[in-house]
Structure formats: structure tokens, C-alpha cells
Amino acid sequence: MRSGGFSKARLGRMRDVMAGHVEGGAMPGLVTLVSRRDEVHVETLGRIAADGGGPMERDTIFRIASMTKPVAAAAAMILVEECRLRLDEPVDPLLPELADRRVLRRLEGPVDDTVPASRPITLRDLLTFRLGFGIIMAPPDTYPIQKAMREKGLRMGPPRPQTEPAPDAWIRRFGTLPLMHQPGERWMYDTGSDVLGALIARASGLPFETFLRERLFEPLGMKDTGFSVPAGKLARFATSYWTSPESGAMEVYDRAEGGSGAARSRFRPPPAGWCRPSTTTWPLAGCCSTAAATAGSASCRACRSRT
């Protein structure tokens, strides 16, 4: 017996809105999934690429980018449950690169104009994005700290797994920069998950990708979730697009055959590269997965059982 309580009329309106995005050219195709209790509603529209390719399917694989963040949070909570991490204890013992933090006196000030951090960074700070560091919603190099990040190769924005530094190298570079705000003082997006990935690897004694695979993906049957897509699954891998800041038009960000389409954009160096294994297998790189898997293991099982 289905007990989700979905409204057929409202599901119809949702389909009309989603179809409008595809028909209007905002995207070549999409998959929608709504899950409640034991009922799962899935619809597929359009194709996996604007220039052709197969139709969108329930098992089409996407780059899930920042949806990797809640996956990292779930992994951290496994370690909390096992008492290998504590929410309110400093991360310094496992991440000594982050001990004795300095904090910018002013965000717009020089990177050497700092004060001591009022307290250490904790796991709770990482999970809530309140460690005192994150994306600044301003053009590149608007602030000196942005320039310092760029000079150290600490890029923020859409992931590119083939160009990002490995976790230990990244955390060493990050540890040389001051925080933008005092720990716990302000919410700032993004960086907390990247630090969390390095913490999970050191707390578990396993590479971040291995921990996710063994403790989350395999137990939950998330067989299409990982940091790269093997050759045998590339036919199900959708092309990724982004909006060009030059023209406002939709352009290729990463193709299933290895990112060759990204060369068309003057703003992004090719390739992004989820089609081959990368050493950057942690939140900064971003996972690939299906709509069903990201909606939860129950939805994943339900979708696989239906035709």
C-alpha cells in the first residue's frame, strides 16, 4: 500500500514547470524525484546532452557537486557515534596544521594584520560552516585574502577533480592562511566540508573516498556513487553545463568523454575530469551519483525495483 499522500494535480504542475526548463533551453534534460514514506515518484525529461546522446533515465549519473557535503557530514557522524570524533572537541590533535589560528583583524585588511583566535576550531564548527573561513561573494581578488588563496592554489567554486591538490597538501596550504572570522562567529559556505574531509581521513585512518565507499555507499547499495565514473557507465553520464559569465548562455562544463567540451569556455581550463580516477577524492572534488541515490537509500531501492 502506498502511503506517501502525493497529490496527482500537484505532481502534474511540477512536471509542467520542469518541462518548461527543458523546452525553454535552460537545460537539455533532468530527473525529478519526490520520496515520502514508502512512495517514490520519479520523472525523466529530455536528454543527457544538448547535442544529442541518450534520453534521461532514472539511473542517469550526474555530478552532484555540493551534495557531497551532506555525505561528508553523515560520514563524520559515524565517527562521532563510534567515539572517534567529538562534536565540541578541537580538531587540532588530528589537524595540527590548524592549531593556534590567527584571524584577520578586518576582512578587507592585509593578511598579516591578525589577532589570535578566541578558541580552537571544533567538529561542530566544520559541520555548521562556522569555522571562520569560506567563500566570499565578491569578484576574485576583491579582498587580499582572496588573492592569498589564489596564490596558494586554494581555488573555490565549481569542482575540478583533476586540478585540485590532494587533501594533505591542501590542508597544509590552508593552515598558512588566517581565518576570516573568529571560530563560531559567522556562517560561511563551503570550506568547512573540505576541512571535514581531511579530518575524516585522519580520524578513520582511511582515504576519504575509501571510508565513504566502505561505510556508506556499499552498505546502502549506492553502486553508482563515487568520485569518478568508470568507462562502462559513461553512456549514463550526463554532460554538465554552466552559465557563461561572458554571454549568459549555457555552455559545456564537462563532457562524459572526459571534459573536452570545457575548452570552449575562456573562463574554465579543460578538463574537469570525472571520467578518470583522480587523487582528489574528497569533498573539494565532488561526487557523482544518481537522483535516486542522493534522495536516500530507501528511494534508491524503490527506484531500482520499478520499471
What pLDDT score was predicted for residue 298?
Answer: 41
Query: What CATH architecture is 62-237+274-287?
Result: 3-Layer(aba) Sandwich (3.40)
Apex 53 CA angle, 222 and 240, nearest 5: 60
Q: For residue 77, which of 125, 127, 121, 120 has the smallest C-alpha distance? A: 127
Under 8 Å between Cβ of 237 and 125: no
What pLDDT score was predicted for residue 27?
Answer: 92
Q: Structural domain boundaries of the chain?
A: 1-57, 62-237+274-287
Residue with cell 578586518: 106
What pLDDT score was predicted for residue 242?
Answer: 85
What pLDDT score was predicted for residue 255?
Answer: 83
Phi/psi of residue 38, each to 5°? -100, 5
What pLDDT score was predicted for residue 98?
Answer: 97
What pLDDT score was predicted for residue 44?
Answer: 97
What pLDDT score was predicted for residue 302?
Answer: 38
- pLDDT, tens digit only, all 307 positions of the chain: 355 689 999 999 999 999 999 999 999 999 999 988 888 999 999 999 998 889 999 999 999 888 889 999 999 999 999 999 999 999 999 999 999 999 999 999 999 999 999 999 999 999 999 999 999 999 889 999 999 999 998 877 666 655 677 889 999 999 999 999 999 999 999 999 999 999 999 999 999 999 999 999 999 999 999 988 888 898 999 999 888 878 888 888 888 764 333 333 333 434 445 555 555 555 667 888 999 887 764 444 433 443 3
Beta bridge partners of 29: 46
What pLDDT score was predicted for residue 296?
Answer: 62
The total of other beta-carbon atoms located within 10 Å of residue 96's CB is 12
Helix (DSSP H) and strand (DSSP E) numbers for the chain:
9, 9
| Separation of alpha carbons 46 and 19, rounded Å | 8
What pLDDT score was predicted for residue 304?
Answer: 43
